[in-house]
């Protein structure tokens, strides 16, 4: 009994101690919370626009850009905190700027929203000496910055830009708008989407044909007819686009100008008028795109390509059919994927034609905070005066605070609390905006990683397509030899033996390449499956939080659709090839039996052995290929990279962007000499 009483006492004492500790901890927590509450909040320099819920940052760190027009700063919307915005501030300190601003207002009022045009949120806001335009923030900077960051741009990447530009400009064209200042600085990028911006020099015309148009714009992008102050048309923008295209194709070089000479503006304009257009030999570009840029840079305006002709050009037309491109991905069913695969297989020239125009639409659900109570204001109040006075130097909440603070002295504490709430609101808004921008960049980073991996899958498909073409050529060559031998008179024994050796060599290649196609298709399908089931643990560069944001984005959905289409195309490719070649290396039963026993490790072993035998055949069959030598050389260069795919020597290990693959294909197929490729390939084969 005594022991039980002692145990109860000790339990009671322990309970009391816990309660005391809890009270002490509670007091300490309350003190910490009080300290946190009373901690002064850094005041954010902002300027609110009366009659709207927009707030402009006055912080030096929030200046996005500056120029002769004024400056662009970060802006926020109190009512819609999920939008990332900027404000273009134009000082109206002279009549010309005011007239330019008035024209820009007219253009923007007429401009519909489009993914390839910068979206303006609010345009009718001005103070006594400044005009404010609120527009979407673009996280990729300008085309100028983009070009500086890329060492080399593939032709395919340039075409992607050109197609997107035409999608945006077609909207301007339909509305009768001439931009007059097309240049890299006025093309912004957001989530890899190119957007036409800055309509300060734009002009609305009744007809887009030849008429009087004042000389405006950036000197090296101005069309010759404007320099000569002749009548002009919407083709002045075509000239400017031609200058951009030329510079993208040829490492930043300006057309008509010597890259070794430093020009002042008058001399440069004079040379542009007088000199003939010279196409640089390096890097080599396709005849089709060279012909297009020549037509864009035709000095005679009447001979220059029109916008209707550009929109219907075979490099551009298919990308302007938005419904066709979008509907291709609407149905995620297996049947739809196979159908899409068949269409692409029939219509594409190698895999780069499979890359549809992607439009990243990032919609992330963020923490929801209660929005501050605000007065109901009219968003678009009419402007009666030449210079409207819709602006105030401080926020609308602060104005209310000042009015309340003037009533009684005892309301100072209330004023302080209101200011605290206002600053907290702004800090929360800014913090969420920064987090959202960071999230967008992280999503783009993950998408780049996955698209980079996807390009390896497409690379295997490129090899298969090339091997199929080469096999048909070899097969035709063997048949022609057999016909020639049967029709020719008696030959000596040496010639017959040499012909037999040659035929056996080609047959060896034919057999190994057929097996290689089956193996590569299977590897491509396994890679595709791995990519569809990708986990962030597979890549150390991806954080778990970033991956969760990616899964919530439209990017993930679009990529999933793209991978399903790839799967359909690969399945259709394999099915078609088996049907066409069932009497050769594999019949259907043998193929399915072989595949069912195949795992990744064995597949890599089979590919390693098969490609090793194929590569060793190259020096022997190269001389027998006649007109097909270059094609065989390119094919075997790709085969060696596929053979080295999992080694540190593979060239793809250095690729950071999926567009690097496009540049690689272009380099191998257009820029590298045959002798250079041959020497490098033979050296690589000898080192196996």
Burial-class residue 72 by CB neighbours within 10 Å (0-12, 13-18, 19+).
Answer: buried
Is 186 in contact with 107 (CB distance < 8 Å)? Answer: no
Please state, in angstroms and as integers, the Cα–Cα distance from residue 655 to each residue in 154, 160, 188, 210, following that order.
13, 19, 25, 47
Please state, in angstroms and as integers, the Cα–Cα distance from residue 455 to each residue in 351, 442, 657, 663, following that order.
9, 20, 9, 12
Residue 88 known to bind ligand: yes
| Residue where the block lists tokens 């000042």 | 402
Taking residue 408's Cβ as centre, other Cβ atoms within 10 Å add up to 9
For residue 286, give both structure tokens.
């396709």
User: Residues 62, 136, 181, 566: which is the catalytic one?
Assistant: 181
Q: Cα separation of 641 and 684, whole Å?
A: 10
φ and ψ at residue 387, rounded to 5 degrees: -115, 110
Q: Cα separation of 421 and 372, whole Å?
A: 8
Helices 629-643 + 674-686 axis angle, to 10: 40
Q: How far is CA 500 from the centre of its chain?
A: 53
Is 74 in contact with 139 (CB distance < 8 Å)? Answer: no
H/E segment holding residue 123: strand 120-126
Q: Is 48 helix (H, G, I), strand (E, B) or coil?
A: strand
**Contacts from 406-411 at CB under 8 Å and sequence distance 24+?**
none
Cis amide prior to 98 (ω within 30 degrees):
no
> Is 181 noted as a catalytic residue in this protein?
yes
For residue 573, give both structure tokens.
């490719």
* Vertex 655: Cα angle to 653 and 658 (nearest 5): 130
Beta pairing, strands 193-196 & 187-190: antiparallel
Q: Cα separation of 130 and 96, whole Å?
A: 14
Is 262 in contact with 186 (CB distance < 8 Å)? Answer: no
DSSP state of 357: P
Taking residue 609's Cβ as centre, other Cβ atoms within 10 Å add up to 13
Q: Cα separation of 424 and 412, whole Å?
A: 18
Q: Quick one: CA torsion of 600, 603, 608, 613, rounded to 10 degrees?
A: 180
DSSP states of 68-96? TTEEEEEEEESS-TT--EEEEEEE--SHH
For residue 287, give both structure tokens.
């005849």
Beta pairing, strands 120-126 & 63-67: unpaired
Please state, in angstroms and as integers, the Cα–Cα distance from residue 494 to each residue in 330, 491, 499, 500, 505, following that order.
63, 8, 9, 10, 16
Q: Cα separation of 537 and 544, whole Å?
A: 8
H/E segment holding residue 136: strand 130-136
Q: Print burial letters for 298-307: b (CB count within 10 Å at least 16), e (below 16).
A: bbebeebbbb
DSSP state of 113: P
Q: Cα separation of 133 and 230, whole Å?
A: 33
Q: Quick one: CA torsion of 470, 476, 479, 480, rounded to 10 degrees?
A: -120
H/E segment holding residue 8: helix 2-38
* Residues with catalytic roles: 181
Q: Which residues are annotated as a binding site for ATP?
A: 88
Q: Which residues are annotated as a binding site?
A: 88
């Amino acid at each position: 009994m005594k022991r039980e009483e002692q145990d109860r006492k000790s339990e009671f004492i322990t309970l009391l101690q816990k309660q005391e500790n809890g009270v002490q901890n509670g007091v300490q927590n309350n003190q910490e919370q009080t300290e946190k509450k009373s901690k002064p909040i850094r005041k954010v320099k902002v300027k609110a626009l009366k009659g709207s819920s927009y707030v402009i940052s006055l912080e030096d760190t929030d200046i996005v850009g500056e120029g002769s027009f004024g400056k662009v700063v970060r802006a926020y919307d109190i009512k819609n905190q999920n939008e990332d915005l900027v404000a273009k501030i134009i000082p109206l300190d002279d009549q010309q700027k005011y007239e330019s601003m008035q024209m820009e207002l007219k253009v923007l009022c007429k401009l519909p929203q489009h993914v390839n045009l910068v979206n303006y949120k609010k345009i009718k806001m001005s103070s006594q000496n400044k005009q404010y335009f609120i527009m979407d923030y673009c996280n990729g900077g300008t085309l100028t910055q983009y070009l500086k960051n890329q060492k080399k741009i593939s032709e395919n990447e340039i075409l992607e830009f050109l197609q997107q530009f035409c999608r945006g400009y077609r909207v301007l064209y339909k509305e009768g708008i001439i931009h007059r200042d097309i240049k890299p600085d006025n093309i912004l990028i957001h989530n890899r989407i190119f957007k036409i911006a800055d309509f300060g020099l734009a002009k609305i015309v009744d007809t887009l044909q030849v008429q009087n148009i004042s000389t405006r714009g950036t000197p090296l992008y101005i069309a010759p007819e404007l320099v000569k102050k002749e009548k002009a048309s919407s083709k002045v923008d075509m000239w400017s686009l031609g200058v951009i295209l030329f510079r993208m194709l040829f490492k930043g070089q300006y057309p008509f100008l010597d890259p070794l000479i430093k020009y002042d503006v008058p001399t440069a304009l004079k040379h542009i008028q007088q000199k003939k257009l010279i196409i640089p030999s390096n890097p080599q570009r396709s005849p089709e795109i060279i012909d297009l840029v020549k037509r864009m840079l035709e000095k005679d305006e009447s001979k220059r390509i029109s916008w209707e002709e550009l929109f219907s050009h075979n490099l551009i037309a298919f990308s302007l059919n938005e419904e066709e491109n979008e509907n291709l991905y609407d149905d995620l069913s297996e049947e739809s994927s196979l159908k899409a695969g068949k269409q692409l297989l029939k219509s594409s020239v190698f895999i780069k034609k499979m890359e549809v125009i992607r439009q990243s639409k990032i919609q992330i659900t963020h923490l929801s905070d209660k929005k501050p109570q605000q007065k109901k204001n009219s968003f678009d109040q009419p402007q009666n005066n030449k210079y409207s006075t819709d602006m105030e130097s401080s926020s609308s909440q602060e104005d209310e605070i000042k009015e309340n603070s003037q009533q009684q002295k005892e309301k100072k504490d209330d004023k302080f609390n209101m200011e605290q709430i206002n600053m907290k609101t702004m800090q929360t808004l800014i913090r969420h905006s920064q987090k959202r921008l960071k999230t967008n960049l992280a999503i783009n980073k993950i998408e780049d990683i996955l698209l980079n991996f996807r390009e390896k899958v497409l690379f295997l498909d490129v090899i298969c397509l090339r091997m199929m073409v080469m096999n048909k050529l070899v097969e035709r060559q063997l048949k022609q030899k057999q016909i020639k031998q049967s029709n020719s008179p008696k030959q000596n024994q040496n010639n017959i033996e040499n012909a037999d050796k040659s035929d056996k060599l080609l047959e060896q290649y034919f057999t190994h390449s057929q097996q290689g196609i089956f193996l590569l298709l299977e590897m491509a399908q396994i890679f595709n499956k791995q990519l569809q089931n990708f986990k962030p643990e597979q890549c150390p560069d991806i954080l778990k939080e970033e991956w969760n944001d990616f899964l919530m984005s439209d990017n993930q959905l679009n990529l999933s659709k793209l991978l399903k289409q790839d799967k359909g195309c690969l399945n259709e490719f394999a099915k078609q090839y088996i049907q066409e070649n069932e009497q050769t290396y594999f019949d259907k039963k043998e193929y399915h039996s072989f595949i069912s026993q195949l795992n990744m490790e064995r597949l890599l072993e089979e590919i390693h052995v098969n490609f090793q035998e194929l590569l060793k055949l190259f020096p022997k069959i190269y001389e027998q290929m006649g007109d097909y030598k270059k094609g065989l050389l390119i094919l075997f260069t790709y085969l060696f990279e596929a053979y080295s795919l999992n080694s540190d020597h593979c060239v793809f290990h250095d690729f950071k962007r999926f567009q690097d693959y496009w540049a690689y294909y272009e380099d191998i197929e257009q820029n590298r000499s045959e002798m250079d490729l041959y020497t490098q390939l033979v050296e690589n084969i000898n080192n196996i």
